[in-house]
Copies of this chain bind each other. A is one copy, B any other.
Amino acid sequence: MSIGKTAWAIPEGFLPDFGPHPDDRKLRSHEAACILNANACDAHVTLTIFFGDREPAGPYRITVPARRTLHLRFDDLREPEAIPRNTDYASVFEADVPVVIQHTRLDARPGERALLSTLAFGAEA
Contacts and interface: CB of A to CB of B under 8 A. Distances in A.
A115 B119 contact: no
A104 B90 contact: no
Given A52-B71, A88-B71, A116-B104, A3 B12 contact: no
Q: Interface of chain A, helix or strand or loop or mixed? A: strand
A84 B113 CA distance: 23
14 contacts: A3-B92, A4-B121, A4-B123, A11-B35, A11-B101, A12-B102, A14-B71, A34-B88, A51-B68, A69-B89, A71-B88, A110-B113, A114-B114, A121-B122
A69 B51 contact: yes
A112 B113 contact: yes
A53 interface: yes
A47 interface: no
A45 interface: no
Interface of A: 1, 3-4, 7, 9-14, 26-27, 32, 34-36, 38, 48, 50-53, 55-56, 67-71, 86, 88-90, 92, 100-107, 109-110, 112-123
Contact of A113 (B4, B56, B86, B109): B109
